[in-house]
Amino acid sequence: DPIFFAAAESYFANRAEDVRGDDYMPDDERGLPFEKLSLVASFRSTRPVLEFVDAAIDLIGHEALGMVDAVPPHASEVPGPGLVELWPPVAAGLVEADDGEEEWIDDAVRENAARIAKQIRAWLDDGLMLESKGRALRPEDVMILVKRRGELAQLLVARLYAEGVPVAGVDRLRLNAPLAVQDLLAAIRFVLQPDDDLSLASLLVSPLIGWTQEELLARALPRSGSLWRHLATQHRVLLAPLDAMLARADFTTPYQFLEEILSGALDGRRKLLERLGEEARDPIEELLSAALDFETGTTPSLQRFLDWFDRGEVEIVRDAAQPRDAVRVLTAHGAKGLQAPVVILADATADPDAALRSALRWKPGELAGPLPVFRPRKEERAGPIDDEVTAADLRERQEHWRLFYVAATRAEERLVIAGSLSAKWQGKPPPESWYGVAARTFDALGIAGETRVFAGIAPPTAAKPRAAAREAAAALVELPEWVRKPAPQEPRPARPLSPSSLGEDEVADPPPTPAMRAAAERGRLIHALFERLPSVPAADRARAADRWLADVGQVGDAAERHAIAKAARRVIDDPAYADLFGAEALAEAPISAVLADGTVVAGTVDRLLVTDTTVRVVDFKTGRQVPRSVDEAPTYHLRQIAAYVAALAVIFPGRAIEA
């Protein structure tokens, strides 16, 4: 608020004067001036653009912008030439052809959008040089500004797309409005209710399926009953994509369903972008994000998602500051903080009085909050209401001129001012429009003509052209066919096989008796001692074994503990097995390997000793009957040891394996 800043300036100026007058101030600090500095240096626009803006502000007057003091002239810090163009306004009545669905839009608005799109296409085709940058114009160098989102903004996107100019779309729109979103929602509506003829017809003629209106009409008539039942009977072979959607509808979440349409065999994302252009990409991604957000808070069914989406009003806000190889279309208010080499004010002829708000917020002195009041007619204005209307109109008009300043100073090198006029204005733009003040500014600068051009009071020199090779657009590359196919199933190794599960126990032993269970428990305890005692000094093994058997093994009989410990120590202390229980041997060693036939062996051996020439593996077994020789050993034990030997032969090739 300029009034607020003026009050703040006055406050601090008075404080500075008071401080200078205080007795406690040192003599060398008395009388210091209160500096008033203006930010007049521009690092965005070239000098001709700023000279035009300064001339326009002088014509309007700083009071019209709500400024207390006069605005000092700008100083450009950007070298190079600049240009300001005033195109003649497009008057109503020039276009008589029937434009179908756009016929309800004023013909002058349509012609203005087409003129702008064709001019941008011509600039790109002719290689228009940006003289302050020394290179040719690119689509991202163009920014089109409108006063408000509406018919013109949508038409500009459509006309630019028709001319083959990359366009990022409008900066803000409702998520359910873009055609790409409507086509995807039609797919959801169809799978939820196949007999919904409208949704099915919309889906069939969408880019996802690709039928023409004529093909749909020929295949749909004559019929009785629903469209789906008719097509399923007469044209079943053409409905494979729809059958695939129906097959997945009950088993996928909304996000999965949409992503399968876009990235799966249907290749929906590519089809939508080819038909609708790059501006469809953001709505598609926002719809997917909305589906993900929905799934985090409720049961993710298609019916619930469609109901949730239809009841909401999700709005897409594109980040216009992100670099894109596309023309940007946004409002002057949304362009604050942005810039572009070429800026086009597309609806500069808009009448500011037509945009006055119909309701006011009036706050009588005795009320705590404001009241909504409809704007009265001119003959009805009186008293406090008249004062409030006058103040509101003044604020609106000041904002109108401040937005003009913002829009004009977004241009780095070239500013184009254009617009259209309805029949009401009879070919003359509203005096208080941006176009009106621009025309008067050209008059003040002494520039006449139908298309008026201002290149500066003293046109600067152009920048040195850059190497054209760096500016050349990359040639389109045909993508290989495998890009659009699902990735092949990743090969997986066979399920790891534990050697202890190899073979079946076919030994016909009787059911275990208490004595057999006691023997098995004894074997388990000896096995545990084999694992623990080797790291204990030999002199302490008897005492350590007895303590472990009593505390952990829960063996209460001292004689039994002694017998078990003795049996284990007899093996561990035997010199023949010293290396297997020595420091170089591994206890409970895990091994795994893939054999030549693809079998994966994974298990843990009780003792493993690896030398430069030999690998020795030992696995302890507790059986109900101890075999007297290898030939009498159970087959499943032999297969297990053989699997370990085969795995170790893969891990340690060239070494002898002893098991």
Residue that is written with structure tokens 């996802």 in the block: 208
Angle among Cα 607, 610, 615 to the nearest 5 degrees reads 85
Which CATH number is 43-171+323-471 given?
Answer: 3.40.50.300
Would you state the pLDDT for residue 471? 46
Give the model's pLDDT for residue 439: 95
SS (H, E, C) 419-454: CEECHHHCCCCCCCCHHHHHHHHHHHCCCCCCCEEE
**Consecutive sets of 10 residues in the chain, 659 residues long: mean pLDDT of each?**
73 67 51 70 88 93 82 81 94 59 74 95 93 89 90 87 82 76 94 94 94 92 90 89 92 93 90 85 88 87 90 67 79 89 95 76 73 75 77 87 93 95 87 94 91 86 59 62 78 67 56 76 85 86 89 87 88 85 85 85 88 90 74 84 91 91
411, 343 contact by CB (below 8 A): yes
Instruction: Compute the distance between CA of residue 283 and CA of residue 309 in angstroms, rounded to an integer.
Output: 14
Longest dimension (CA), the chain: 123
CA distance 431 to 426: 13
Q: From edge to edge, which strands make up the β-sheet containing 656-658?
A: 586-594, 600-610, 614-618, 656-658
- Quote the pLDDT of residue 175: 77
pLDDT the model gives residue 395: 85
The residue ranges of every structural domain in the chain are 2-37, 43-171+323-471, 173-317, 499-658
Query: Domain spanning 173-317: which superfamily?
Result: PCRA; domain 4 (1.10.486.10)
CB 83 within 8 A of CB 453: yes
Q: Which pTM does this prediction carry?
A: 0.60
Fold of 499-658: Lambda Exonuclease; Chain A (3.90.320)
Q: 362 near 373, Cβ under 8 Å?
A: yes
Half-sphere exposure of 52 (CA within 13 A, CB side): 35
